Chain A
Amino acid sequence: MIEVRDLTKDYGPTRAIEEVTFRVDQGEILGLLGPNAAGKTTTMRILTCYLPSTSGTATVAGYDVFEDALEVRKRIGYLPENPPLYDDMSTFQYLDFVSKIKGIDTQDRSRRIYEVMERCYLKEVEDTLIGKLSKGYRQRVGLAQALVHDPEVIILDEPTMGLDPKQIIQVRELIKDLGGRHTVILSSHILPEVSQTCQRVVIINRGRVVAEDTPENLTGQLKGAERLFLKVAGPAGEVAQKIEELPGVTAVTLTASSADREHDFHVESQLKRDVRRELADVIVTSGWGLLEMRPVGMSLEEVFLHLTTEEEVSRS
């Protein structure tokens, strides 16, 4: 449905995104995850034909975002980071205006508007001026604007920003509902949001795609043998040194020590390398006590930090 290939965008001398490549299938919900200023908004703005790319191509529903911009714009609903609202209109007037410029037929217009108002819990503010609405309502009016013409593709830039916890849950449910019938891309820098709503995640950092997978796989990639919790009875310094010398081990950190020479370690190893056997061997043959050893899964948050900080290190 959406195909992005080698997308690059320069703002003058600064490169906002570099060779971003990913694809989204019909009915899928994709999360764009990254810290602030990573290039999420730029990517979305190119997809919605708001900005032209410097190089690379992007197609939505088979139409090129640059060549067939009008066709693409007919098929997308877009909620920018700041909802594009006119404060001097009421919710209904605003949605009426939007449905006109989105090309909804006159006879379908009011039905669609009432449907979308119901969906976004806006019924009670139908005649309230948007300028008088709270942040949560404004965000939902923005969302309604993106959905009113029932577009094939929905692009949401930080859709739950500024909402209270209850509203966040409502909006997440709404987005999950959209999947299947609509293709959705949403961006966020909040990890639980992405892991809960999205089927696939693209992590962007400093304008580059650093990882792309399902939330489970991303977490799983660094799960299991790759990170271990270890409780050893023995001299702390020596133990750490011995473990560090093992092939495949990348880092050993002492996390806690108790009075009776019991030490807790976190051992990290290279991806997809199980060092548990060697670890046990070394500790036992050295005559220390192996009290506990278990794999520690990383939360998506840690995966995210891991991937983005590693990228930074390799760049500098």
Chain B
Amino acid sequence: MTNVLALWQKEMRTYFTSPIAYAVIVVFLLLSGYFFYGILASFVEFAMRAAFQAQYYRMSMPTLNVNELAIRPLFQNLSVIFIFLLPMITMRLFAEEKRSGTIELLYTSPITRTQIILGKYLAALALFTVMILLTMIHQAFFFIYGNPELGPVLTAYLGVFLLGASFLSLGLLISTLTENQIIAAVVGFGLFLLLWALGWLAHSAGPGLREVLSYLSIFEHFDDFAKGVIDTRDVIYYLSFTFFGLYLTYRSLESARWR
């Protein structure tokens, strides 16, 4: 446990003493802020038009669902931003240790590979958590100026967290395969995008394949959370994705020893 903590602290220090964490957080907040503004603006416009129409036809004002019309699309946009940003968090975790030779220190110290992986993974997860916590500012606006339901917002956060946890485990795996951070980032970005695009393919695929593809697509599972539904199938999907990613990371480190 102390070993995991020592590695976690070391990684967090690297994130925050180098510009990495700041760059990723700033870009993330810029993008998510932009999407928040865009979605809010179009929601306001939509509400105005609805109010105008209601007045025109002398009908009562329809209740507009903030959760459905603004919060859910916002979370969907957030998850797309992660495709671009999460590889930046994981790319250096192992690649840099391999390039600089410090991996030799870790491997010859009395710590296990599992502890190394956990320390690094939890550091990436912590930075990611900071990122998503910062988006609560946007949610605050919804709650101050409207009356959305709290439940779907919380489940959406859970979904975002699980989605990010899966991405990070895959990113960590990719980082063990190369000494070059750029390659780790590009491959991570490509794979994340592919996992996203599987969902599109599912819509046009035949009946048998459609089920498989949409089950594999990482975002299909996210949609339920955004709607406010916690489906155990989705939770299991993300958790097994994460464990599988971490397990493959372990195997990858083990096999590198033999090469």
Q: Is the Cβ of A101 less than 8 Å from the Cβ of B14?
A: no
Is A89 a contact partner of B104 (Cβ separation < 8 A)? no
Question: Is residue A86 within 8 Å, beta carbon to beta carbon, of the partner chain?
Answer: yes
- The reply to whether A74 and B110 form a contact with Cβ atoms under 8 Å apart is yes
- Chain B: CB-nearest residue to A83: B101
Question: Which of A43-51, A253-261, A298-306 participates in binding chain B?
Answer: A43-51
Q: Is the CB of A101 within 8 A of B104?
A: no
Give the contacts of B1-18 with A (CB-CB under 8 A). Answer: 2-3, 5-7, 9-10, 13-14, 17-18
Interface-facing stretch out of A92-100, A224-232, A277-285: A92-100
Q: Which residues of B contact A100 (CB under 8 A)?
A: 2-3, 5-6
A101 to B3, CA, bound (A): 5
Cα of A273 to Cα of B101 in the assembled complex, Å: 49
Q: Is A73 an interface residue (CB 8 A)?
A: yes
> Is B63 at the interface (CB under 8 A from chain A)?
no
Q: Which residues of B contact A76 (CB under 8 A)?
A: 108
Enumerate chain A residues within 8 angstroms of B9, measured Cβ to Cβ: 97
CB closest chain-A residue, reference B111: A101
Is the C-beta of A165 less than 8 angstroms from some C-beta in chain B?
no
A73, B9: Cα distance in complex, Å: 22
**Which size class do A's interface residues fall under?**
20 to 34
Contact partners of B2 in chain A: CB under 8 A: 100, 103
B105:A145 contact, CB within 8 angstroms: yes
Task: Specify which of B102, B112, B257 is in contact with A86 (CB 8 Å cutoff).
Answer: B102
Cβ contact within 8 Å between A80 and B101 = yes
Q: How many angstroms between the C-alpha atoms of A300 and B220 in the bound complex?
A: 71
B126 to chain A, nearest CB (A): 17
**Would you call A102 and B102 a contact (CB within 8 A)?**
no
A103-B102 in contact given A52-B257, A88-B14 (Cβ < 8 Å): no
B6 A52 Cβ-Cβ under 8 A: no
Contact of A50 among B13, B100, B104 (CB under 8 A): B104
- Which 9 A-B pairs have CB atoms at the shortest separation, nearest pair first? A84-B105, A100-B6, A84-B102, A74-B110, A48-B108, A73-B110, A101-B109, A82-B101, A80-B104
Given A73-B109, A84-B102, 5 other A-B contacts at CB below 8 A?
Answer: A50-B104, A73-B108, A76-B108, A86-B102, A100-B2
